A and B are shown apart, each in its own frame.
Chain A
């Protein structure tokens, strides 16, 4: 099945941002894995990966499983994962699944980035 998920990756000082859009379900596996690999592949020293969900309109249980897999890999590589832009409903799901115990949640990407990279000079 063609994926309805897209990912754009950019690297900031110390952090990589993966901006997701569309649907995070089982079909998004390659998109998410490739985006993570692109983000960290050439920047092994990155300490943090930001997953931005502002343009995501659907996450299902297999999408949650993909996020768990990304988190597991990041933890094994001693990287922190944070998330931004989740709707109130999906924030609740992150709470229920306890993902929010391991992934710090920010209301939006700007606040996540400013927190991670410090105040602008």
Chain B
């Protein structure tokens, strides 16, 4: 039997950002530049950018409590046809996760009727933008993993 060696994961970039509102735009731009040319269609790149921005915003606000001295860590890895973006903060188990601490699935009808906060779209958007989303917690370290396949057509 012939075994085909799978390439080892390759780290493409790693950087940190102060936990300040607005820095999600920096993360978005840098990740977009890093993955440019790796085979993501324009539409899927836009989805990844939105997911990175939302996950970074969550890390800044709900993980690190908008404390600039606590950095958000971003790492971009390529593993075969997968691009994986890991965004880490120090929110641990108490990570609020999404706007207003609202963990309910957002329901627009209920929001329009005033039964749900208008906010609470962050995790929902992330889940719908990428091919896979995972969350790991190791002590205080909270990491959200965003996976996008370069050749994939999972979402068009």
The residues of A with any CB-CB pair to B shorter than 8 Å are: 1, 26, 58, 60-62, 64-66, 68-69, 71-72, 75, 87-89, 92-93, 96-99, 101-102
Contact = CB atoms under 8 A, between A and B. Distances in A.
Interface stretch (B50-58, B78-86, B135-143, B145-153): B50-58
Contacts of B120: 65
A87 B50 CA distance: 13
A61 B99 contact: yes
A60 B108 CA distance: 16
A60 B58 CA distance: 12
Contacts of B128: 96
B108 A97 contact: yes
B118 A68 contact: yes
Given A68-B108, A92-B43, 20 more contacts: A60-B53, A60-B57, A61-B119, A61-B121, A61-B125, A65-B99, A65-B119, A65-B120, A68-B111, A68-B112, A68-B118, A69-B118, A72-B114, A75-B112, A89-B46, A93-B50, A93-B125, A97-B106, A97-B121, A98-B108
Closest 8 CB pairs of A and B: A61-B121, A89-B46, A65-B118, A68-B118, A65-B119, A61-B122, A98-B108, A69-B118
Contacts of A66: 118
Contacts of A88: 43
A93 to B, nearest CB: 7
B68 interface: no
Interface of B: 21-22, 24-25, 43, 46-47, 50, 53-54, 57, 99, 106, 108-109, 111-112, 114, 117-122, 124-125, 128
Contacts of A64: 121, 125
A89 B47 contact: yes
Contacts of B109: 98
B121 A65 contact: yes
Nearest to B47: A89
Nearest to B45: A89
A102 B122 contact: no
A32 to B, nearest CB: 12
A101 B124 CA distance: 17
